[in-house]
Structure 1
Amino acid sequence: MKKYKKPIIIILICLVIAIILPLTWSLAKYVKDVVLEYQMKSKGFYFSSPDLEPNKVINSWSGEAINFTLLNSISDELITEYDINYEVTCEILGDASSLAACHVNNEETNSDTGVLMSYQHCLNNKQDGIDVANYNKDECELGGYTWEKQIATQNLSFKIIPNEEEEINEIEVKISINSTSPYKKTLVGNFILYKAYDNSDKLQTEYHDLGDFIKLVLTNKQSNQRCINIKWDSEELLIDEDISFYNSYEVDENDNIEEIEFNEVPNSSREFTFFKKTENEITLENFEISDCTP
């Protein structure tokens, strides 16, 4: 029987531990997050923001404040019925952090606190003509009406304040919203802002990565109608749109659309949905967007 020297055995054990520990840690964190999410939902705690994404790209930024919303719900049916205290913070990422400050909600600081107030109202589902708008819960239910929870929306914002004599053309901002009571949950999103230049010549573009699919929003800022051309790799992206409004379109050998042309009226926007067909990273650079050629 072969005998291994102790140093070799120790090295092998260390290698195994080094491989297993990160996997164990990741699995434990995932399980913990799932359990916490389940516990909060079982207590009727719902806390979300439809505007926070891993990487939300805004190409038409001109230095104005960026708005986002906070909700006490995750759907029309799942709504929190008590108040939620929260704190929102703004952090500039990368080298630009030394060139500017990020202020939240018109405050001269990068953080702010607030309360997402819950509220309910009485709904007259009997159609008997009685005004129940001012009924309390007891009056509502005793009258045979429906006491209904309402979705509370808090409008929030952040603004980039450049240092004196600094010009910011591109910046990445991390927004964190932490519920502080009655339960703790953290919502995180990154905004990637690109400075807008001459909007009379360029389209405004917004790119939203939503996991399995992408939203691309184009805005024609000109005072006249323009013809727009979009190209992409049909091996990576599948468009989900009604082709009836296209002037023309091109398909690949599998009959998947890979290029479209369409007219856009002045000062209007159009949204496109693309489904991902690959695990490769998809960014705005994967699209060729231009005016139509004669």
Structure 2
Amino acid sequence: MKINKAKIKKYLKNLKIKKKIIELKENIIELKRKLDKHGKKGYIVLGIILVFLLTTITFGRYIYNEIRDFYLSSKNFYFNSDKLTTNRAIYQVENWSAVDPYTITINLNNSKNNLVHTSSDINYEISYLCSSNVLCSVNSTGGTLYSSEGSSYFNAVMTPNDIFKVGDEAFIEITVKSTYPYKKTLRGRFILKVGKSGLSYTIDDKKGRPYFNFNITNTIDYYLVKEAFGNYSVNDRIDRLTYISLEDIDKRKCLSAEVTLTFDPEKVILDTTNTAYLKKENYTIVKINGYDYINSITFRMDSESSEVVKFYKADTNLDYTYPIVNNTSIINFNYSE
């Protein structure tokens, strides 16, 4: 009779696992008995021990990642991102409109600094998971970061797939793993939190690009009468359909939102071909070295609409992405209804 050693080995392995499970259950029962005996104090002590263990494990993982980064650096291997980290970066965007798709641009690079780079090509894979209330997509599953190029990027898009209310959240977690010549994992979780109806804004930028886009979303679904006309008084609300049916002269007497952007023209320059500039209500200028530069602009936004305002950067090495990457915006944003 022929003995199947593989099956016997598998059987013994499963038997060991079953014994371990039985032992674990017995230990849990014994622990509960002891905790019940000591009452509330016993559970408090257990809670303190668990917190300590979790903190130790988290810190240990952080130390491991730092040591591994040091080891990879000793091999002249650099694989980094502007938003993802080895210890899983976490970002939260407040006042998400939950109306338009939200795009996150992830930049990858092979640099330690401007002078030191990885000399070989880097192969990598991209994966993601997201909450069930959004549809997520990433325009790449991976690729090669060529040493001659030094950088690469991909976009992740979160599209609302549910009815949201103020305070609701959605998330996407993105993982990028290098597979050659060394293994390294970068992660980031991006949380979008729905805010009250109003205006929100983001800045889409990256290092090395001469411009950035200032994106504004207006989720207000009505207009306010600012100057009485016909049967309407000041501060009356008008819905979008009613507003669309008005004569142009009466539309000017209504307002959904008026936006003012203020900025330093020594750092950023407004693109005056923007529709926001062409439909401006007002603007201000400042003299720099004898020349006039725009340093603020005011314009109207329609109800439930969006606007993209383009700015050019004085220093292309800077990344003004907001709110991810930077906690404060390079553009001062104000609006009124």
The normalised TM-score by structure 1 is 0.48
The normalised TM-score by structure 2 is 0.42
Q: Which has the higher contact order (CA 8 A, sep 6+)?
A: 1
More helix by share: 2
**CA radius of gyration, larger in:** 2
